[in-house]
């Protein structure tokens, strides 16, 4: 019998402590786990909430929704939607929002999902397998320039051009790529130099996954929604795993952590700051040793400031 794939939640205690910080023991109110995954953060939050607390979770992965069904706590609910749908929550309704932007281990380690070059499987990579285009379907029609732009922008890959040309040449000679192994082998032939300890396909797989799921666009939409949904004093906690995500989070918090003056109306009062940056946290050495996938994680914490009357 196959053993269920396990997932180790990164920065579990640190994230929940930051989210609930200042809320007191057994807090009430409404809290949001915007990226349920396999439920590590949600389960820990529920342990800490009081009887009047409520946890709303989001995830677009059908397997995550199946895992969430195992939680029978009446204080918990989940929506089969991406976290950009935070915008659908009432204004000022959330006491805290947690976003864990990592791909869960069961997603990576399941060959059928197509996220990893370590296993041969269909070239899919969709977070929500019930809708949208797979990577294989997109690569079957995309032009060289489009493929190169995606790999360069989302993977920061120096050899994006040669990789894109190789993908299209292969398509013309033998038909479209269909499996992860085919793509990984093709990329390995196109990448001339490799970073120590990194598979040459790493950046390409990252880029295609981010693109096909519109991950950065959804992150930006979710962050903007948090401004409206968080009540004053509510916490925003975001864990990111690569520089593109962390840069968006860092710039978003910085942008809203200062007063903004309108140069066209120099005597008008400034637009008040809407967030206060609190901390930046990296996993400790013990966590990284126990879970190497934690090594790139960065957690940023901000607090929603008072909204002037």
Q: Which residues are annotated as a binding site for S-adenosyl-L-methionine?
A: 39-41, 59, 83, 100, 107
**Which residue(s) pair with 31 in the sheet?**
55, 96
Annotated binding site: 39-41, 59, 83, 100, 107
Classify residue 176 as exposed, middle or buried by CB count within 10 Å of its CB (0-12, 13-18, 19+).
middle
Lookup result for tokens 């409404």: 30
CA distances from 37 to 26, 59, 288 (A): 24, 7, 20
Put residue 114 in one of left, alpha, beta given phi > 0 → left and psi -120 to 50 → alpha. Answer: left
Looking at the chain, which runs of residues are DSSP E strands? 29-33, 53-58, 76-79, 94-100, 230-240, 275-281, 298-304
Residues 268, 132 contacting (CB under 8 angstroms): no
Distance, in Å, from the CA atom of 33 to the CA atom of 83, rounded to the nearest integer, reads 9
């Amino acid at each position: 019998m196959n053993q269920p794939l396990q997932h180790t939640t990164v920065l579990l205690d640190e994230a929940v402590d930051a989210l609930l910080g200042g809320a007191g023991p057994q807090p009430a109110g409404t809290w949001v786990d915007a990226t349920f995954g396999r439920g590590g953060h949600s389960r820990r939050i529920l342990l800490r909430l009081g009887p009047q607390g409520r946890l709303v979770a989001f995830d677009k992965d059908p397997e995550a929704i199946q895992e969430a069904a195992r939680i029978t706590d009446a204080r918990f609910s989940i929506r089969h939607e991406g976290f950009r749908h935070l915008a659908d929550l009432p204004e000022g309704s959330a006491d805290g929002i947690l976003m864990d932007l990592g791909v869960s281990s069961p997603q990576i380690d399941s060959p059928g999902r197509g996220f990893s070059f370590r296993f041969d499987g269909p070239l899919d990579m969709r977070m929500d397998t019930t809708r949208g285009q797979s990577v294989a379907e997109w690569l079957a029609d995309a032009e060289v320039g489009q493929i190169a732009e995606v790999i360069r922008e989302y993977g920061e890959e120096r050899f994006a051009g040669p990789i894109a040309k190789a993908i299209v040449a292969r398509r013309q000679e033998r038909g479209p790529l269909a499996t992860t192994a085919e793509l990984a082998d093709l990329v390995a032939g196109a990448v001339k130099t490799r970073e120590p300890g990194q598979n040459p396909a790493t950046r390409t797989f990252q880029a295609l996954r981010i693109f096909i799921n519109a991950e950065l666009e959804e992150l930006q939409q979710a962050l903007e929604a948090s401004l409206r949904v968080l009540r004053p004093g509510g916490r925003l906690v975001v864990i990111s795993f690569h520089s593109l995500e962390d840069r968006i989070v860092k710039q978003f918090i910085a942008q809203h952590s200062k007063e903004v003056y309108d140069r066209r109306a120099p005597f008008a009062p400034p637009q008040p700051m809407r967030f206060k940056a609190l901390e930046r946290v990296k996993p400790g050495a013990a966590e990284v040793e126990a879970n190497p996938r934690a090594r790139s994680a960065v957690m940023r914490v901000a607090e929603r400031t008072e909204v002037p009357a």
